[in-house]
Amino acid sequence: MTVVTPAPERSAANGGVVKLIADNVQARVDTRLLAKHLGGRHQSMFELVKGHRSDFEELGLLRFQTGEIRGRGQPEKFALLNEDQCYLLLTFSRNTAKVRHLKVRLVKAFRDARRAAEHRQTEYLPTYHALHDQIQVLAAESSNPQFVHMNVNKLINSVAGLDAGQRRGLDLPQQSMVVVAQAVAARALRGAVDHHVGYRRAKEALQVLSFLARAEVLS
């Protein structure tokens, strides 16, 4: 699982971003994070979810998880709630200012997650496949074609400021940057005589893109 909205966490008092967890089906929220935003005890919230389990399960699969063991204590148990389950949980709480503010942040977080998922289907994946189809042609005679794909992916990640394994949890601006980088790399690969030349051309083109992106940020 990966974080969908990896913005720095801030306290509930100043309207911080709610971090979502992405699985292969939908975005979810950790009940420990909800408790932190509300300033309450997580154990009480977790017991509430368990006590009304059948209600939550009417809104989708209810996923219980066990956290990492810290020190000599028992590992903490928590739940990952989907969007509807989050709102149901908040209906069990008094409609205080903290609860209202959290509702607003949840609406925004799930909205952004849906937009990112749609963007991935319509923009990210087509340019990804087009790029790697181009690489496949050039790497056909390589003894390790998978490394050619990996090396170009590393170039893309470098431009977008990503580490390996972070692609799945990109927010919309990060996805947009990767889409542009993939399109630039694919264009640079066209007409290359082999994957060595193609890699050099892609690297040069992406260095220009990276320079332009940094210049835009600093302007």
pLDDT per position as a tens digit, 150-172: 999 999 999 988 888 777 767 78
**Beta strand pairing status for 63-66 and 77-81?**
antiparallel
Beta carbons within 8 Å of 205's beta carbon, 6+ residues apart: 184, 185, 187, 188
Q: Note the pLDDT of residue 163.
A: 86
Q: In whole angstroms, how far apart are CA 24 and each of 8, 9, 28?
A: 23, 24, 11
DSSP letter (8 states) at residue 81: E
Between helix 195-218 and helix 145-160 the angle, nearest 10°, is: 10
Among 125, 120, 131, 217, smallest CA distance to 171 is for 120
Low-confidence ranges of the chain (pLDDT < 50): 1-14
Question: How far is the CA of 156 from the CAs of 126, 164, 177, 189, 195, in angstroms?
Answer: 15, 10, 9, 13, 16
- Per-residue model confidence (pLDDT) at position 5: 35
Say if CB 106 and CB 98 are below 8 A apart. Answer: no
Pick from 106, 122, 124: nearest CA to 28: 106
- pLDDT the model gives residue 14: 42
Give the CA distances from residue 36 to residues 39, 45, 86, in Å, rounded to whole numbers and listed in that order.
Answer: 5, 10, 14
pLDDT of residue 147: 92
Query: What pLDDT does residue 11 have?
Result: 37
Distances (CA, A) of 94 to 38, 215, 219: 11, 48, 46
pLDDT tens, 86-97? 999 999 988 889
Give the CA angle between residues 116, 118, 124 to the nearest 5°: 75
Calpha distance 210→49 (Å, rounded) = 46
* pLDDT at site 219: 56
